[in-house]
Amino acid sequence: MTAAIAAWGMTMALAGCGSSGGSGDVTLKLVAADYGTNSENSSEKYWSALATAFESKNPGIKVDVNVRPWKTVDSDVATMVEENRAPDIAQVGSYANYVKKGKLYTADEVLSVPTQANFLAQLAEAGKVNRLHYGLPFVASTRLLFYNKKLFDQAGLEAPKDWDDIQSNAEALKATGVTTPFALPLGSEEAQGETLMWLLSGGGGYTDTADGSYNIDSQQNIKTFQWLQKELVGKGLTGPVAPGKLDRAMAFKAFTSGQVGMLNGHPSLMAEAAKQGIKVGMVPLPGVNGTAKASMGVADWMMAFKQNGNRTAIGKFLDFVYDDKNVMSFAGQYDLLPVTHSANEAMAADPQYADLRKFLNALPTSELIPYGKNSWASVSESFKKNIGKAVEPGASPSNVLGGIARDAAAAEAAE
């Protein structure tokens, strides 16, 4: 069935083949996030090449590529929409806040049947609001605990299996002079992701499994942050920068320079560490008494805006984007996971992606951020602004989580 879907998808992608160039009858505006770390690996190169290839097969459709930094791309798109100049397609971190406003096409309205059917079911489900599919998963990743093998060997340590191991290993690393035994980035860049990893490892999460409502200040979540505050931060095991001031990029850079013993990481950190000669060990996220119940799964999203009325052209371009060759090219370049069945199977079978198999294996049981909630964008901002305070000396994790929970309740009520 997968082979049939892939073959059908290829047929659809090639159906518009024609002479090179294009008349410019339709110009699609694409805004995309930059996954690169410098000008050499900027995502601009990928999207520009993809647009050129698409235009050569689809005379009459041009694609205007606008790649923005990750830190601003969501707010940039929000501003464009507010100013009534929405792009035709946006590739960003969230989508649901545009659904209620009626700004987006559904997947049914823009994608061919084979393309839509090829998405991994878990990710497609996360792209739905009120059972309608709006958010198109673009790439995915899962999280593992990374550790510096050299520093562990010097301290005579083995990979941690539970929270007690994390704490005792961090103590041992500190005793050998490691600057940051465990990096805990709860700064504004990615605090909502780091938080969910710890909540899952503590047996909690953002939402109630029964009805999907927010469950932010549950007793399990409070206990998780009490442990972090007391056993890691309070014992000086999280380095010289306070967690609330530590962004993920800063933590990753410190890890790849050999200053960090452990941290939670995603696939692209693996490649960056290798470039810097850091030998990395990776294990599933440790929980209170063993491996966590679930890893955190992350998806980035494509969405198609109605404003310019270019539904047919948008659909042709998106079918081209999700061709296996293109999906594998982007995911492979940035050490991310593809979001389609056929591309996942191809990656799992390809020896050159062997280092990603641990992440692929974690994807089926991963738990995603509640992307489908219209309120999530504002709740995420509350986490970014406030969660770092929960581990400060003398702070009350219960009060901090309670404040975020109230923000979430207000955001839900506003919807």
Per-residue pLDDT of the chain (415 residues; tens, 9 = 90+): 344 434 334 333 333 333 223 345 999 999 999 998 788 889 999 999 999 999 999 999 999 999 999 888 999 999 999 999 999 999 998 898 899 899 999 999 999 999 999 999 889 999 999 899 999 999 999 999 999 999 999 999 999 999 999 999 999 999 999 999 999 999 988 899 999 999 999 999 999 978 889 999 999 999 999 999 999 999 999 999 999 999 999 999 999 999 999 999 988 898 889 999 999 999 999 999 998 888 899 899 999 999 999 999 999 999 999 999 999 999 988 889 999 999 999 999 999 888 888 898 888 778 898 988 888 888 999 999 999 999 999 999 999 999 999 999 999 988 7
Q: 313: how many CB neighbours lie within 10 A of its CB?
A: 22
The β-bridge partners of 33 are: 68
Q: pTM surpassing 0.85?
A: no
The Cα 351–Cα 15 span in angstroms is 32
* DSSP-assigned letter for residue 9: H
Tell me the C-alpha distance between 340 and 342, whole Å.
6
Of 192, 193, 195, 168, residue with least CA distance to 182: 168
Name, in order, each residue with C-beta under 8 angstroms of 6's C-beta and a sequence gap of 6 or more: 114, 118, 324, 342
How big is the chain, counted in residues?
Answer: 415
Q: What is the pLDDT of residue 18?
A: 31
